[in-house]
Amino acid sequence: MADSGAAAKRAAMYGEVDLGSFELFSGNFINYGFWESVPLDREITLEERTRSQAALYRKVVSALEVKKNDAVLEVGCGIAVGTELTLREFRPASLVGLDFSEAQLARARAVHGDLLDLREGDALKMPFADNSFDKLYSVEAAQHFEDLAAFAAEARRVLRPGGRLSLATFFATTEQSPRELAKLIETIADEIDFAVPIKRFCGDLADAGFVDVTVESIGDRVWLGFDTWTAQLAQHRDSWGRNWLKAYRCALADYFVVTASVKN
């Protein structure tokens, strides 16, 4: 469990610091991006960086197979640009965005007005009744959850029979990897991020009652693009952002889309 200092730093990143406003995230989404291709003969544009982040949302939400009568929950919605994309492009019957940061939700409401149903709450203790949703997704938020087993149990609780989960973030590749990752990635050393071994999380899902747990590695379409983009930004060229590709190439971490279902 992270100490209170780590939790405070995490809250500040999404509160007063407003991480989403940084050029690293193109002032839009807050994710590493899903890059179908990376330009080799020119610099990446800000528009292309934004598109990579939208593409990650499409990758994750497509795995849910959203139907027109589905009630959908996003966990870790941030400023809700991805929530808006999901509502507009996938057209579920209803969509709720959940986030722990009051400041982020205030920014989201300033952008989207009353278009979206946004709620403040903890991913480990969601403010919803049992069997409230048909589909649940989370895009690059789970690395901040201090207890993925508790998250898995909550996700299972709020999903209806026949429901489906889709989640994307980075994970450690083995039980030994987190110690080495902490030497490369400051936010892991500080417990702002948690590099949980992927097999352990799959076990958490199974223990919570999920079935048909699947794992897709997409690191080959995440880390090179993000590293190339980061290398263009003078303030990040030799910093935290450049070490993710190193960690991937050393087989310490990878980026995964994880899906799971609830029995009918």
Q: Say which amino acid occupies 177.
A: S
> Across residues 127-134, what is the average pLDDT?
98
CA 116 to chain centre: 19
CA 77 to chain centre: 9
213 inside domain: yes
164 inside domain: yes
Confidence of residue 87 (pLDDT cuts 50, 70, 90): very high
pLDDT digits (tens, 9 = 90+) for 200-240: 999 999 999 999 999 999 999 999 999 999 999 876 666 78
33 inside domain: no
37 inside domain: no
Paired residues of 98 in beta bridges: 75, 119
pLDDT digits (tens, 9 = 90+) for 136-157: 999 999 999 999 999 999 999 9
pLDDT digits (tens, 9 = 90+) for 183-206: 999 999 999 999 999 999 999 999
pLDDT digits (tens, 9 = 90+) for 26-85: 888 999 999 998 988 899 999 999 999 999 999 999 999 999 999 999 999 999 999 999
Q: How far apart are CA 27 and CA 76, in angstroms?
A: 17
Contact 38, 221 (CB under 8 A): no
CATH number of the structural domain spanning residue 63: 3.40.50.150
34 inside domain: no
61 inside domain: yes
10 inside domain: yes
Q: How far apart are CA 106 and CA 245, in angstroms?
A: 33
15 inside domain: yes
Number of domains in the chain: 1
The residue range of the domain holding 192 is 4-27+42-261
pLDDT score at 258: 98
